[in-house]
Amino acid sequence: MENTVIEPEHSESACKGTLRPIRDALDILNGKWKLPIIVALTFGEKRFSEIAKEVDGITDRMLSKELQDLVTNGLVQRTVEETFPVKVTYSLTPHSKSLNEVIEALRKWGLLHKSYLVNRDR
């Protein structure tokens, strides 16, 4: 039988159990750009250059790399239309829609924290 590694009564274990999924999530969403890219795509499918325009300060190199990561992790879909010139569009996958809650929570907290700082430093 498997060792049951989880003892619910120990708060330390409870803490670590809570931590694991959070670390998992942070590992996928790590870095400065992934969430901003996803947010840009929540407004609809976009082309490479359109995303670059929306996400302030990102370079082509970073955008390229981050998009690859996102595709690999099933968060973004890449579609190539064989026109000329080739038209490549990126869009969110159904699975990435599940990030809405995370994004909304972050957005709200960003606003809250800003107003907190204003009040504190006044």
**What residues make contact with its own copies under the rule CB under 8 A?**
11-12, 14-16, 18-26, 28, 30, 32, 35-36, 39-40, 43-44, 53-56, 73-74, 95, 98-99, 101-114, 116-117, 120
65 makes contact with DNA (CB under 7 A): yes
Contact 63, 52 (CB under 8 A): yes
Determine the interface stretch with DNA among 8-16, 64-72, 97-105, 107-115 (rule: CB under 7 A).
Answer: 64-72
Rounded to an integer, what distance in angstroms lies between the CA atom of residue 82 and that of residue 44?
A: 20
Rounded to an integer, what distance in angstroms lies between the CA atom of residue 5 and that of residue 24?
A: 19
Backbone angles phi, psi at 64, to 5 degrees: -60, -50
Tell me which residues touch DNA (CB under 7 A): 30-33, 47-50, 57-62, 64-65, 67-68, 78, 85-90
